[in-house]
Structure 1
Amino acid sequence: MMNPNGLQVYSEIGRLKKVLLHRPGEEIENLTPELMNRLLFDDIPYLKVAREEHDAFAKVFQDNGVEVNYLEDLIAESLFDNSRKEAFIDEFVKEAGLKNQLRIEQVKDYYRSFETNRAMIDKMMAGIRREELKPSGLRTLSDLVDMNYPFIVDPLPNLYFTRDPFSTVGSGIALNKMRTPTRCRETIFSKYIFRYHKDYKNLDIPFWYDRDMANAIEGGDVLVLSDKVIAIGISQRTDADAIEIFARNVFSDGQPFQTILAFDIPKTRAFMHLDTVFTMVDHSVFTIHPEIEGPLTVYSLTRSDKKGDYKIEREYQTLETILSKYLEVDSVKLIRCGGKKGIDAGREQWNDGSNTLALAPGEVIVYSRNHVTNQLLESEGIKIHEIPSSELSRGRGGPRCMSMPLNRDLIIKK
């Protein structure tokens, strides 16, 4: 199971060794009020400050001995020969929603015109404004109908939430099928990195899920609670059918996981992913949104002796009872976002007060703006690293959402 040089995530809290980030780019500058709903934003971050905040986020990792990898660098390095690059361009453009074949070829040529892979990737992420490319050849009806839309290729402003397009679980990944068309192209980057990048292409990494599958699953719903238990949200963004496919694949491999807990959470923006309502901060200690404190419907998928098979049971219990049972501890401690239901909880939940990222057991990264929750964490003995968050938080995602651990130390049971 030990794989210190490859992918290794068997907990939410093992000391973090390697993480994947994306520094916000020009895609943020291509958000407009009219397009916020389409592009899944509630506000428009100020890019200059968002980058400063993100750099402070990265510095916390670096100051604590964590290797920081950037999505934009890894994908550029993955396109190491011309045939690979051409296949990538073809796949990216195919999913960009272009209808006119002349326009498709023009966009491909535009991407090929960049002198470096990194410059091309930055433009793919940023999107192509309509004024950047003149009409190519005979204009079609679809071209004329789309004239008032500002983009030829939409930007990808959600990319700085690297948690969602794939999930590192054990020594493999789930290459996710995103719920919305706006985010589907994000997973193409992950596909090429984990199949072709020099650091991963020879590791024979198992894929627990694939982006071409029919049902949606997103990384914010996947929490690796221990080397035996995975929690997944049945949410606004993740389907129950996808969880079953994931379970069959994980249970078919030689991984140690024994149980997948499928939490049926409200299908609303406030409960978008499971990690927006609870995250693990220490052994048996969690931050939670007070709204999920009551009895929950949870389905346990427990591995059977037959390879890939499992049994399903429906349980209706409090979060404490469920977590204590499957983590095999006497009790768990729940630290409530904002302290209790009410104004503080509502405000800090909106700004992802319960979306923490563990650097190590009992040591987490948090947004500075969630001061009520942060004080509660400190009062419970949790070491916190506060990062500035006035602009990053406008995307409705916290430190866990903005990071994808690639390697964590194993938890040594006492």
Structure 2
Amino acid sequence: MIPPLPDAPVMGATSEVGPLRTVMLHRPGPELRRLTPRNNDQLLFDGVPWVARAQEEHDAFAAALTERGVEVLYLDQLLTEILSFPSARAELIGAAVDDPRLGATLQRAATTHLAWLSPEDLSATLIAGLAHDELRGGRGLAYEVMQRGDFVVPPLPNLLFTRDSSVWVADEVAVTSLAMPARHRESTITAAVYTHHPRFAGVEQLYSARLEHLEGGDVLLLAAGVVAVGVGERTTPGGAERLARRLFARGLAHTVLVVPIAQQRATMHLDTIATMVDVDAMVMYPAVADSLMAWTVTAPEGVDDDADAVELTVTGPEPFVVAAAAAMGIDRLRVIDTGLDPVTAEREQWDDGNNTLALAPRLAVAYERNTVTNEALETAGIEVLRIAGSELGSGRGGPRCMSCPVARDPL
């Protein structure tokens, strides 16, 4: 049973750089051991990571946060705690077997198997998956034609990247709609945690997995009331529009900048090419610094609380840094000049050099391997906490991708 909370914790975020108080992480576990050269592409990893080393790297990342006073919540622990509630169990077991590959007979067998598991074992299975030869009482045509190592319930190795399945805007949380089939169930787990865990009692969810594709890695909180949304491989223009309407209707933002990015794996999210490191500064991939454009979306004051009825005004496009500065009410948005030659810039962008996590203004966590980018950040006055990421990075994600800020102090 989950112990009651003595006081409701303060939650929410209005920027990328306000002092970080609480963050949600997921320590990689057995789900990474499911990756093989045969399935890693389908499961969105570029290689087969050394799991023990990935765990060591993640533990060091979490330690760097706690040493700076950040409370770390672990998603798998939150999941285990809610699985003592019958409604949460039924919801998540149903989502796990809701797969047209299985057929009715195998779905019933898998449901029975999962229903008998303890909260701890069920949590582990929902994340690490359930293979054909692990299923008790398997039967049915689909079961018979499966190979021994095929998954009845696929693993979720990308749960490591907690930023993607939810993002807080002010005191509400958007549970996102993940684009890739291998990740759909992540949003189901995240939504269940926010819905059922007492830690999040009363929190409003302003988006859901049933809506247009929108991923947290594409959402940057540039300043209070100013949200940038990248549209490309993972987030659709329709998702950006839906989010904008809901933000305006709930008074959570006054401006949304919609930023088209290349539809390719190297730039799958906006935060793979740009992240905030100070109240008026960001590190940005040099190859796009001069070409990144933005459409500015606003709504009239006093809009109706019916999000679908909100009339949007769209202007642009214009250079992103110009549009961002105007929306933020500052003279200019500083782009830190990393001074990289084209080859080094491409290498360090691929290795998530621009995917930093700000713990406070001018204090950021970054992968140690991106030496030139990190030196440029320090020259610009940004303190860099370097962490190892040789194995964590095999899923194409850096410190920002691996963290969902639950609470930041306002600036």
After TM superposition, give the deviation of residue 208 of structure 1 in Å.
Answer: 1.9
Conserved in 2, the CA contact under 8 Å of 1:178 and 1:216?
yes
After TM superposition, give the deviation of residue 310 of structure 1 in Å.
Answer: 4.3
Instruction: Provide the C-alpha distance between the structure 2 equivalents of 1:4 and 1:147, rounded to a whole number of angstroms.
Output: 49
After TM superposition, give the deviation of residue 297 of structure 1 in Å.
Answer: 3.3
**Aligned ranges 1:304-319 → 2 under 5 Å:** 304-305=300-301, 306-307=303-304, 308=307, 309-319=310-320
1:92 corresponds to which of 75, 92, 96:
96
What is aligned with 2:207? 209
1:278 aligns with 2:274: yes
Once the two structures are superposed, residues 313-354 of structure 1 have per-residue CA deviations (whole angstroms, 9 ceiling, x without a partner) of 3423333322222222222221245x3351110111110000
What is aligned with 1:226? 223
After TM superposition, give the deviation of residue 134 of structure 1 in Å.
Answer: 5.9
2:107 corresponds to which of 104, 128, 148:
104
Once the two structures are superposed, residues 139-191 of structure 1 have per-residue CA deviations (whole angstroms, 9 ceiling, x without a partner) of 41x44443376222211110100000111111111111110110000011111
What is aligned with 1:322? 323
Q: Return closer, same or farther for 1:180/1:147 CA change in 2, 3 Å cut-off.
A: same
Q: Return closer, same or farther for 1:39/1:336 CA change in 2, 3 Å cut-off.
A: farther
Q: Return closer, same or farther for 1:75/1:9 CA change in 2, 3 Å cut-off.
A: same
**Aligned ranges 1:18-57 → 2 under 5 Å:** 18-57=22-61
Once the two structures are superposed, residues 350-403 of structure 1 have per-residue CA deviations (whole angstroms, 9 ceiling, x without a partner) of 100000000000000000111110111111110111111111111110000000
What is aligned with 2:237? 240
* AA matched with 2:277: V
Q: Return closer, same or farther for 1:136/1:332 CA change in 2, 3 Å cut-off.
A: closer
Conserved in 2, the CA contact under 8 Å of 1:297 and 1:314?
no
Conserved in 2, the CA contact under 8 Å of 1:291 and 1:341?
no
What is aligned with 2:3? none
Conserved in 2, the CA contact under 8 Å of 1:163 and 1:404?
yes
**Aligned ranges 1:162-177 → 2 under 5 Å:** 162-177=162-177
2:126 corresponds to which of 124, 127, 141:
124
Instruction: State the TM-score, normalized to the length of structure 1.
Output: 0.92
After TM superposition, give the deviation of residue 207 of structure 1 in Å.
Answer: 2.0
User: Does the residue aligned with 1:398 lie in a helix, a strand or coil?
Assistant: coil
Q: Return closer, same or farther for 1:153/1:367 CA change in 2, 3 Å cut-off.
A: same
Conserved in 1, the CA contact under 8 Å of 2:113 and 2:136?
no
**Quick one: percent identity of the two aligned structures?**
35
What is aligned with 1:65? 69
User: Does the residue aligned with 2:256 lie in a helix, a strand or coil?
Assistant: strand
Conserved in 2, the CA contact under 8 Å of 1:223 and 1:232?
yes
Instruction: Provide the C-alpha distance between the structure 1 equivalents of 2:35 and 2:378, rounded to a whole number of angstroms.
Output: 36
After TM superposition, give the deviation of residue 128 of structure 1 in Å.
Answer: 1.5
What is aligned with 2:4? none
Q: Return closer, same or farther for 1:97/1:21 CA change in 2, 3 Å cut-off.
A: farther
* AA matched with 1:333: R
Conserved in 2, the CA contact under 8 Å of 1:92 and 1:188?
no
Instruction: Provide the C-alpha distance between the structure 1 equivalents of 2:322 and 2:244, rounded to a whole number of angstroms.
Output: 23
Structure 2 residues without counterparts, runs of 5 or longer: 1-6
1:298 aligns with 2:302: no
After TM superposition, give the deviation of residue 98 of structure 1 in Å.
Answer: 4.2
User: Does the residue aligned with 1:238 lie in a helix, a strand or coil?
Assistant: coil
What is aligned with 1:78? 82
After TM superposition, give the deviation of residue 292 of structure 1 in Å.
Answer: 1.3
Conserved in 1, the CA contact under 8 Å of 2:272 and 2:354?
yes
Q: Return closer, same or farther for 1:291/1:199 CA change in 2, 3 Å cut-off.
A: same
Structure 1 residues without counterparts, runs of 5 or longer: none
**Aligned ranges 1:248-259 → 2 under 5 Å:** 248-255=245-252, 257-259=253-255
Conserved in 2, the CA contact under 8 Å of 1:222 and 1:231?
yes
Conserved in 2, the CA contact under 8 Å of 1:9 and 1:405?
yes
* AA matched with 2:204: P
Instruction: Provide the C-alpha distance between the structure 1 equivalents of 2:20 and 2:157, rounded to a whole number of angstroms.
Output: 26
Once the two structures are superposed, residues 194-242 of structure 1 have per-residue CA deviations (whole angstroms, 9 ceiling, x without a partner) of 11101112x2x222211112x2110000011111200000111001111
User: Does the residue aligned with 2:90 lie in a helix, a strand or coil?
Assistant: helix
User: Does the residue aligned with 1:244 lie in a helix, a strand or coil?
Assistant: helix
After TM superposition, give the deviation of residue 102 of structure 1 in Å.
Answer: 2.5
Instruction: Provide the C-alpha distance between the structure 2 equivalents of 1:244 and 1:185, rounded to a whole number of angstroms.
Output: 23
User: Does the residue aligned with 2:293 lie in a helix, a strand or coil?
Assistant: strand
How many positions carry a matched residue from both structures? 400
